[in-house]
Chains A and B, each alone.
Chain A
Amino acid sequence: MGMIAIAIARIHNLFAVVMLTGIFSLLGAAAYVIMDAVDVAFTEAAVGAGISTVLMLGTLALTTSEEKPSPKKNVVGALIVVTITGAVLIYGTLDMPHYGDPLAPVHQHVADRYIGQSGTEVGLPNVVTSVLASYRGYDTLGETYVIFIAAIGVLAILGRVRFPRRREEDIAEDDAQKTPDETARETGA
């Protein structure tokens, strides 16, 4: 995954970059499967590797598939900032509990009840669905609204019904052909 990330940063052909981001998402999905998070992996594969790749390709079809060569900027400064940020993030992970640690704080709070009680309280075999749709119904409702708003936003910006634009001379021609009577009617006389 690291190699793909470096390749994405280095390659200038945007079509290849889009394909590589799709592969990156697919590898991410595989990593989730290894960590037994099948539902998350499913979403990552469908959304990250599938839909977003297609949407990026759609955007490329509208623009261009070759990155514009940017003028040489302060590469060293950017590298320093990225290195420091990465180091801080890695330092932050040192305090995290080990993977699968049953004493981790995340397993101490509500997870016990979800795993222990959801069979009798909700009655679904898939605990993930119980948590998503029932215990955390508000969050999922919010997510649905996010998707809804995203679609509304795209529609508001791009989705207007497009009428074939009349050129100036066509309009002038039409006006010239009109009888004075028609012009008077149009101006609301």
Chain B
Amino acid sequence: MKQKIILRVISKFLIPYILLFALYVQWHGDFGPGGGFQAGVIFAAGFILYAIIFGVDTVRVVIPAVVTRLLLVFGVLLYSGVGVAGIILGGNYLDYNVLAHEPTHGQHYGILLVELGVGITVASAMITIFCTFAGRGPEDPEEEV
């Protein structure tokens, strides 16, 4: 699809807004519909659109495979780490009340970090899955299965 100039130009217009909308959904999830899961998917959709139009190899220049794999782990660790931080600060696992002086502030920080962890994991998981699928190309009949 590299030769379709309309798709190339339009997608270049769209992708920044997709990523911006994903960030809005991520950080605004406390107040409106949305949250880490949806934001992660939308964020990944921006990259996947880019991969469909410009090819998987081009996306891998923007965000190399190592980076998505590290982020994949980082998101899960961030979520779990918030839980462990609750234990260290004297509460139960995933108890956000102890994260700040005010319980509601602690809840706020905890939810923000946890949602960020979910968003990072989901986004990098989706990008990883798509790129591994699409990066294979049609199966070579000579190759072993």
User: What is the interface of chain A, defined by CB distance below 8 A to chain B?
Assistant: 38-39, 41-43, 46-47, 50-51, 54-55, 58-59, 61-63, 120-126, 128-130, 132-134, 137-138, 140-141, 143-145, 147-148, 150-152, 154-155, 158-159, 165
Contacts and interface: CB of A to CB of B under 8 A. Distances in A.
B42 A46 contact: yes
**Among the interface residues A51, A61, A63, A133, which one has the most CB atoms of the partner chain B within 10 A?**
A133
Contacts of B32: 126
A148 B133 contact: no
A79 to B, nearest CB: 35
Given A124-B108, A141-B80, A151-B129, A47 B35 contact: no
Interface residues of B, number: 53
Given A145-B76, A148-B72, A151-B124, A132 B35 contact: yes
B128 A148 contact: no
19 contacts: A41-B33, A42-B25, A47-B37, A50-B41, A51-B44, A51-B130, A55-B129, A55-B130, A121-B107, A124-B108, A134-B107, A141-B80, A144-B117, A147-B121, A151-B72, A151-B124, A151-B125, A154-B133, A155-B69
A138 B82 CA distance: 12
| Contact residues of B: prevailing secondary structure | helix
Contacts of B36: 133
B27 to A, nearest CB: 12
Nearest to A120: B104
A34 to B, nearest CB: 15
Given A144-B75, A151-B72, A151-B125, A54 B118 contact: no
A50 B79 CA distance: 25
Interface of B: 25, 29-38, 41-42, 44-45, 48, 52, 69, 72-73, 75-76, 79-80, 83, 94, 96, 103-104, 107-108, 110-111, 114-115, 117-118, 121-122, 124-126, 128-130, 132-134, 136-139, 143
Contact of A58 (B30, B41, B42, B130): B130
A124 B35 contact: no
